[in-house]
């Protein structure tokens, strides 16, 4: 594996994390706005007097914040697992190559 492929892979993982976080933020915001539209009393009771008159806007913002947190965590964990799997695959391929070289040297 050359350095250029490793850098491209790292950039790709970063882009996945950013896009996943932003998508989660939008989904979280829409969920918060939906809940505030259905039951504004619940949201005012949940957030206290901070929400004021603009309950839907306030819950959309809070939903976006939680969406970013959760999306970043999930995306980062998924990319971490992908990196671990790639490292394991490289190690197994290296071991196979070493065994093949040992067999070839033994035959010569």
| 71-93 confidence digits (pLDDT tens) | 888 888 888 888 888 888 888 88
Q: Which residue range forms the structural domain that includes residue 96? A: 3-107
Is residue 62 within 8 Å of residue 47, measured between CB atoms? yes
CA distance 15 to 96: 32
Q: Looking at the 3D structure of the chain, how many domains does it have?
A: 1
How confident is the model over 3-38, as pLDDT tens digits? 777 788 778 878 887 888 889 899 999 999 999 889
């Amino acid at each position: 594996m050359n350095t250029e492929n490793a850098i491209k892979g790292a950039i790709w993982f970063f882009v996945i994390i950013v896009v996943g976080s932003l998508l989660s933020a939008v989904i979280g915001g829409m969920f918060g706005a939906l809940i505030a539209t259905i039951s504004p009393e619940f949201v005012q009771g949940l957030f206290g007097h901070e929400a004021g008159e603009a309950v839907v806007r306030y819950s959309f913002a809070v939903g976006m914040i939680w969406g970013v947190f959760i999306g970043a965590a999930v995306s980062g964990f998924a990319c971490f697992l992908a990196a671990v799997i790639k490292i394991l695959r490289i190690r197994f391929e290296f071991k196979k190559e070493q065994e093949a070289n040992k067999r070839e040297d033994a035959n010569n």
